Amino acid sequence: MLGLLAKAGYPVDNDEELADYVIVNTCSFIQAAREESVRTLVELAEANKKIIISGCMAQHFQDELLTELPEAVAIVGTGDYQKIVEIVERVETGERVKEVSTDPTFIADENLPRYRTTTEGVAYLRVAEGCDYRCAFCIIPQLRGDQRSRSIESIVAEARQLASQGVQELILISQITTNYGLDLYGEPKLAELLRALAEVDIPWIRVHYAYPTGLTPKVIEAIRESPNVLPYLDLPLQHSHPDILRGMNRPWQGRVNDGIIERIKQAIPNAVLRTTFIVGFPGETEEHFSHLLEFVKRHEFDHVGVFTFSAEEGTAAFGLPNPVPQAIMDERRERLMLTQQPISERKNQAYIGQTVDVLIEQENPETGELIGRSARFSPEVDGLVYVTGEAILGAIVQVRITAADTYDLYGEIV
């Protein structure tokens, strides 16, 4: 949207005080995300800003938002953001615009202009949009439609554009990246995509949202043999117990969890594994939760995120019997995080004395301390590396690690 608006001549600024229009790209995945979106919208409304609401919440609650927020001048659905210039032009004439396709089919490609808001060294690259799975807790397919993949040629073309802009790290995203290409080619083509991207002059390529069933020997081999594809795998496992996975409508996963994790570790000994879990799914007993605790202890993931279950209207899990009280969900989340913390700290401390590549992203103007990430850390969800020495922002430099804690590393440029 920003790319299209900038190309059309609209000045763009990240300071809403200066803006005539503020676009709020909302999330509607869980209640907490909606509450954060609503707080932002209300704050802007109180500041008398003209608000354009886009994203999943716009798709989900279009009529309610228009009713409750008279300051909203437009609602833009998840399959309609490419129309943003036309929408603003219509708003300028005094029209209140609702542009929401009931069945989103659009996906951006390399021909659409981009206006990156990440640090200069990092870019996200969407390889597919939508999801064909129907997990019981998830409303994303209703908001974003079924999976639609871009061609390998399209993705590589955009990657080359980003490389020419100095991007050092490319993060591949979709709802299920390991299913990339299934809709377009009749079979998943992630391995072929990774090998094609290995030819692009970008030092780090990171894969997010790699469902375990799609990590075939062919994909693992492509990761191992492509020097710029990081051995970093983000596996959204959600749970370990077969009963809970069956309730989540992910029964296939219970059969592969242990096997695939061991296979990854054997094939890629230096693999960095991140995962997320949901605690408190309806019917989760203490026995189910203990199974999850033992699973985390056994596999020693590098990074773990934990969410409490959020009952979302319109999903199969909404209104299921045997709900888990919020207090118990919170307590289980805390116990799981406390179980993971010493594992994360031990993994970090193993790097003390080693020299690692770090992508420098920030500088503290007062102290001169640099902040970056090693290849083990993905932006915003993992740790940071605090660095002494001199380097330009957006550069990958060698750093000797001198200290570590549960989440972060500390070091000096060599």
For the stretch 351-408, pLDDT in tens is: 999 999 999 999 988 888 999 999 999 999 999 999 999 999 999 999 999 999 999 9
25 pLDDT tier (thresholds 50, 70, 90) = very high
Cα separation of the two ends of the chain: 41
Q: Give Dmax (Cα) for the chain.
A: 63
More confident position, 92 or 258? 92
- Sign of the Cα torsion 181, 187, 191, 192 reads negative
Interval 276-325: pLDDT, tens: 999 999 999 999 999 999 999 999 999 999 999 999 888 999 989 999 99
Q: What secondary structure does DSSP assign to 58-112, as a single string?
A: HHHSHHHHHHH-TTEEEEE-TT-GGGHHHHHHHHHTT--EEE--SS------TTS
Angle among Cα 175, 275, 284 to the nearest 5 degrees reads 95
Q: Is 138 annotated as a binding residue?
A: yes
Mean pLDDT, the chain, rounded, equals: 94
Nearest to 2 by CA among 22, 17, 31: 22
**What pLDDT is stored for residue 81 in this prediction?**
95
Q: Is 177's pLDDT higher than 90?
A: yes
Cα–Cα distance, 184 to 132 (Å, whole number): 13
The dihedrals phi and psi of 188, each to the nearest 5 degrees, come to: -60, 140
Which H/E stretch holds residue 25?
strand 21-26
SS (H, E, C) 365-398: CCCCCEEEEECCCCCCCCCCEEEECCCCCCCEEE
Query: How confident is the model over 82-106, as pLDDT tens digits?
Result: 999 999 999 999 999 999 998 899 9
Give the 3-state secondary structure of residue 406: coil
Provide the whole-model pTM: 0.93
* Spatial separation of the C-alpha atoms in residues 259 and 50, rounded to whole Å: 52
Q: Is the pLDDT of residue 254 over 80?
A: no
**In the predicted structure, residue 16 carries a pLDDT above the cut 90:** no
Residues 262 and 290 sit within 8 Å (Cβ to Cβ): no
Split at pLDDT 50, 70, 90, the class of 121 is very high
Q: Which of 137, 124, 72 is nearest to 314 (CA)?
A: 137
